[in-house]
Amino acid sequence: METLTDQNWLLSVGVFLPLVGVLVMMFIPRDDESTHKTIGIVTAGATLVIGLITLLNFDYDQSEKLQFFVDAEWIPVINSNYTVGLDGISLPLYVLSMAVTFLVMIYTWDNMPDAGNPKAFYMLMLVLQTGMAGTFVAQDLILFFVFFEVVLLPMYFMIGVWGGENRKYASLKFFLYTMFGSAFMLVAFLALFFQTDAVSFGFAHLVDAGASVDRDVQIWIFAGMFLGFAVKVPMFPFHTWLPDAHTQAPTQGSVILAAILLKLGTYGFVRIAIPMLPEGAKAWAPVIGILAVIGIIYGALGCLAQTDMKRLIAFSSVAHMGFVMLGIATLTEFGINAAIFGMVAHGLITGMLFFLAGSVKHRYHTLEIKRLSGMLVQAPRLGWILGFSAMASLGLPGLAGFWGEFPVILSAYNPNFGLSEELFRTLMVIAAVGTVLAAAYLLWLYQRTAFGEPSDEFTSGHGSSDGDGAHHGATPQPVGAAVNDDADHGDEIYDVTPIEWVAWTPFLVFIVVFGVYPQLMFQVIDPAVTDMVARLGETLGP
């Protein structure tokens, strides 16, 4: 694999800078809350700046090659190196993780979950950031695995400490389930290592050598990786940790989980499992495709059955990740390109939806759909943003979600490398029906929560509604501490706060920007994916 090596410090700084912030925060007493928040946000901001510098210095004409490449000795005894690099597949996700963390931290400024203790919360988020960014740049299996697992712990604590009522069950389930998958994944990594003469854990080497591994062995090793990644994605039927984790997690946890963590699984397929084990991938592709499409339909049906808004959004993730996995399963440039686009789009859109769920919870103290009504009356801007995000989520062209969905459906018509056309065309039609169900559950959600008149429960005593037309005027917007006051039920339902605007605007803007001009991202991804699929073709034939 050819590499470009200038400015190779960028990635390491980008990955480990958050830990500097953690180190600083360790020495500051816990009571000094705003200092912790400031340090956290500044660190994440600095990290994002590094990310943007990376973005600017990236050579887009050679996005199929690894850039900012570093290869240093790390654990010589097992031939594992500290190898990092970035190509067109990693770049969008790497920068996305930085941006999302930064924005979530800004959002936390005003919306600290009930359990308090910003020091620990911000430290965990910074550790999480290191893990996520590291996963996307690692070019060595052991390094990848370390980062992949580093992510687990902070999220476990975020759910377990700052979560909802049932947080202990949810966090343990999340942790163990992912751990369970990771174990198999590690088995597979080791097996692959030994099968390729135990020379190196480096991706480049394994991509070259992996193809020559016996087909049956590849299938077995792929099975191990499949379990590890499929749990993370999550694919049907390994998804049941997700609704619980999302429902119980604090808003911040849900956003990061949906926006980035789920992508670690799909990224693993694209980066590791498929290129290293072409024969295994080909053998498993129909299974992945079928499970993905089951996930699309099943997740949508699950959504229709939900009575809780946040749980509904969580189930919609199962459906959306089904589209991503279907694209990957086709093993075509078209499908994998769209899958990566879909990862970013889903990160932005579903992240935004979880933000909204959090804000609704703050205002109404409930997420039960049947109790919410007339949001457009009481908080029109919030209602509009919810409508916008719902439209984006159901794949409206002109918004980002479409580009992760439509080309996937398209690609399933013509899967690569002699995969069964009958099967994948059937899957294509079923997946297309899934888009109808997506419209159904999202619009139904929107109709029930945003349309109509506000329910009495949230209007009594405030006189802000009921036919006098005044409810379209400016509603008072409490800021700062008042927002955190969850104590008394029946607060004034206020509209979007300035902090929320700051945290959300980038999401909204990029949903539109990528939707209107998808070439921005496709031109980065496409060469890398085309290159990868071409390599597959060398082994699998046309």
Residue range at the interface with another protein (CB under 8 A); choices 85-93, 350-358, 359-367, 389-397: 389-397
182 and 149 in contact (C-beta within 8 Å)? yes
Q: Which of 18, 160, 265, 280 binds another protein (CB under 8 A)?
A: 160
Of residues 129-148, which lie at the interface with another protein (CB under 8 A)? Answer: 145-146
Closest separation between CB of residue 53 and another protein, Å? Answer: 26
Q: Which of 376, 385, 511, 540 binds another protein (CB under 8 A)?
A: 376
Q: Counting Cβ atoms within 10 Å, is residue 96 exposed (0-12), middle (13-18) or buried (19+)? A: buried
The helix-helix angle for 118-137 and 141-150 (nearest 10°) equals 160
Q: With binding defined as CB under 8 A, does residue 435 bind another protein?
A: yes
Closest separation between CB of residue 436 and another protein, Å? Answer: 5
Q: Which of 175, 269, 355, 417 binds another protein (CB under 8 A)?
A: 175
Of residues 189-218, which lie at the interface with another protein (CB under 8 A)? Answer: 190-191, 194-195, 214, 217
Judge if the upstream peptide bond of residue 237 is cis by omega within 30 degrees of 0. Answer: yes
Residue range at the interface with another protein (CB under 8 A); choices 39-47, 56-64, 284-292, 438-446: 438-446
Enumerate the β-bridge partners of residue 67. 86
Q: With binding defined as CB under 8 A, does residue 68 bind another protein?
A: no
Closest separation between CB of residue 498 and another protein, Å? Answer: 18
Total residues binding another protein (CB under 8 A): 96
* DSSP secondary structure letters along 446-495: HHHHTSSPPPGGGTTTT---SSSSGGGSPPP---THHHH---SSS-----
Tell me which residue of 311, 342, 298, 147 sits closest to 242, measured CA to CA. Answer: 311
DSSP strand pairing (67-75 vs 80-86) = antiparallel
495 and 382 in contact (C-beta within 8 Å)? yes
Rounded to 5 degrees, what angle do the CA atoms 66, 67, 69 make?
90
Q: Which of 16, 60, 501, 517 binds another protein (CB under 8 A)?
A: 517
Write the single-letter amino acid at 335.
G
Of residues 296-325, which lie at the interface with another protein (CB under 8 A)? Answer: 298, 301-306
Q: Which of 5, 420, 447, 505 binds another protein (CB under 8 A)?
A: 447
Tokens of 324: 């991503």
Q: Which of 41, 96, 518, 528 binds another protein (CB under 8 A)?
A: 518
Q: What is the rounded distance in angstroms from the CA atom of residue 421 to the CA atom of residue 413?
A: 7
Q: For residues 127 and 256, which CB has a smaller minimum distance to another protein in the complex?
A: 127
Closest separation between CB of residue 112 and another protein, Å? Answer: 18
Closest separation between CB of residue 416 and another protein, Å? Answer: 10
Print the binding letters for residues 458-477 with another protein: x by CB under 8 A, - otherwise. ---------xxx--x-----
Q: Which of 414, 426, 477, 484 binds another protein (CB under 8 A)?
A: 414
70 and 55 in contact (C-beta within 8 Å)? no
Print the binding letters for residues 260-299 with another protein: x by CB under 8 A, - otherwise. --------------------------------------x-
Judge if the upstream peptide bond of residue 234 is cis by omega within 30 degrees of 0. Answer: yes
